[in-house]
Amino acid sequence: MSRTGSDMRAIARGGALNIFGEGGKAVLMTVILLLLARSVTKEEYGIFTLAQVLALMLIPIGGLGLSRTISRHIGYYQALGDRKMVNSVIRSSIHLWPISAVAISLLFFALSVPLGHYVFRHEDYLPNFQMFSIYVGANIVSQQVGGIFRGLREVKPKIYFVDLMPRVLALGIFAVLAYQGAPILMYSTAYAMCFTASAVMSIFYLLRHYSLSGAWIPTHMALLAFSLPVLVQEIFFTSNSKLSVLILGIFVDPATVASYTVAQKIAARIPFINQGMLFIFLPILSGYMARKDTEAMRKIYARFTKWVILLALPGILLLLLFPVQVLALFGDKYRSSWSILILLTIAHSWSTFLGPAGPTIIAMGRVRMLMLFALLTAAVNVSLNVALIPAYGGLGSAIATVTALGIYAFLTLGYVYRRARIHPFNRDYVRLLVHSPGLCFLEHLLIVQYMGTSILSLAVAVPAFMATVWGLALLLGLITGSERRAVMRRLHGMFGGR
């Protein structure tokens, strides 16, 4: 078995587990938001959303870009067999992120007063913002511990403590609060406490199950030097959608913000398959870079992108062709956001179609270029948001988002192609992207003709779209014989016994 073949199997195994975690996280968050949206007023939902958005914008700053840097460095030094440097990376990072978590939490708490009084001009915002300062610190800690698990290729602890535990706790408590008709502040408090409990448990698990003894050398400054350009990119990636919500909050009422954020939350679930597979992809690709094996990087990039698109394309087409029905799951009051959902679906699909160019640049160690691309596209995003939101509201924000994320995706892919001739495209892959939407559109017309536009039509469209995409992939030869056999063995092992 070739090295890329065995590594792709490792990515598939780890990715399958992580997709379960990411999928569980996405489902839990969708149910949590659905429960919240149906339990409180649109204004209260908008207040909760704005507090969460502000928190999510500050979390990358507190993380210092260390999460992916830790994963990259651990994978890089493990490929070279340098245990001392692996230990050094982990121990140095543990010294850094608690300080930043406390600092950013205090900053968020301090900002809550001027934001509540002078920016959003709404007294009900203030206590919710203050409570989310606890959520900020807990989330920073969880993400950094998850970065260590990622570098060590330990998927299950990350799933348990980072993805599932805080959201399972939140869902249970939210259900009780909804039954009691609790005010929005109780939801914010419960949300923050659930993430805090999970962060504490993840630290205990790391210290209990992984020995950090042995020789090490301080690498704090080296980690920070590599991390800061990654931090700029993460801030752009996080703030791209969050900034739109904040500008909406300044120019429009909370009800309009709620309508936009429901569509944004749905579309933001699209990359969860991509993100799940990337969990093991980054440290493995960093190992290839350490060995200077460019050919292996090309092969695994193309195979990775192919499998991500096969898994994600049915869901993408579902959102593009049935946006009204999907939004109706959150209530009829959100149906009018269908055009926003279509644009945001395209925006969040760029990286799925073009492949993991950003993480590949990190594995190459070219993080300054990634920072420059992020700064350029952030400038485009801010300019378009400011220009379009006052006139077009949520639709203008969606146009800005799809433009900015598209520019970023093509810039990063162009760079990795120029550096190493890495790209995902071949004739059959392009044919799949061209023919699948057309066939699924015909199925959409038939479903609407015979079932109307009810939510029940989604139950028919999901298996129909999956069968179309996978059947076309088999006809085009995108799934090789060895890949089919590997999938069947995996399914047999999961459901058919030993």
Where do the structural domains in the chain lie, given as residue ranges?
A: 3-425, 426-498
pLDDT tens figures, 93-152: 888 878 888 888 888 888 777 766 655 566 666 777 778 888 888 888 888 888 888 888
pLDDT of residue 19: 75
User: Token pair for residue 222?
Assistant: 């080296």
DSSP states of 35-50 as a string? HHHHHS-HHHHHHHHH
Distance CA 110, CA 233 (A): 25
Angle between helical axes of 3-39 and 272-291 (0-180°, round to 10): 150
Q: What is the pLDDT along the chain (498 residues), one digit of tens a residue?
A: 466 667 677 777 777 787 777 778 878 888 888 888 878 777 777 778 777 877 877 887 887 888 888 888 888 888 888 788 888 888 888 888 788 888 888 888 887 777 666 555 666 667 777 788 888 888 888 888 888 888 888 888 888 888 889 999 988 998 888 888 888 788 888 888 999 999 889 888 888 877 666 666 777 788 888 888 888 877 776 666 667 777 777 777 677 777 788 888 888 878 877 777 777 788 888 888 888 888 888 888 888 888 888 888 999 999 999 888 888 887 777 888 888 899 999 998 998 888 889 889 988 888 889 889 988 888 898 889 888 888 888 888 889 889 999 999 999 999 999 988 888 887 778 888 888 888 989 988 888 888 777 777 888 888 898 898 888 888 877 776 666 666 556 555 544 544
Distance CA 205, CA 402 (A): 40
How would you label 176-210 residue by residue, b for 16+ Cβ within 10 Å and e otherwise?
A: ebeeeebebbbbbbbbbbbbbebbebbbebbeeee
Angle between helical axes of 254-267 and 220-251 (0-180°, round to 10): 130
pLDDT of residue 217: 76
DSSP state of 423: -
Secondary structure, 3-state, 225-287: HHHHHHHHHHHHHHHHHHHHHHHHHHHCCHHHHHHHHHHHHHHCCCCHHHHHHHHHHHHHHHH
Distance CA 462, CA 313 (A): 11
User: Is the four-CA dihedral 346, 349, 354, 360 of positive or negative sign?
Assistant: positive
Residue 445, Cβ density class (10 Å: 0-12 exposed, 13-18 middle, ≥19 buried):
exposed
Q: Would you call 71 helix, strand, or coil by DSSP?
A: helix
pLDDT of residue 144: 86
Tell me, what amino acid is at 19?
Answer: I
Helix residue spans in 322-366 (DSSP H): 323-328, 338-347, 350-354, 357-364
Question: Do 277 and 11 contact (CB within 8 A), yes or no?
Answer: yes
Distance CA 98, CA 111 (A): 20
Q: Which of 194, 193, 176, 243 is nearest to 36 (CA)?
A: 176
pLDDT of residue 50: 78
Question: Do 204 and 175 contact (CB within 8 A), yes or no?
Answer: no
Distance CA 198, CA 165 (A): 6
Question: Do 192 and 132 contact (CB within 8 A), yes or no?
Answer: yes
pLDDT of residue 498: 42
Neighbours of 403 (CB within 10 A): 18
pLDDT tens figures, 191-242: 889 999 998 898 888 888 776 666 667 777 888 888 888 888 777 766 666 6
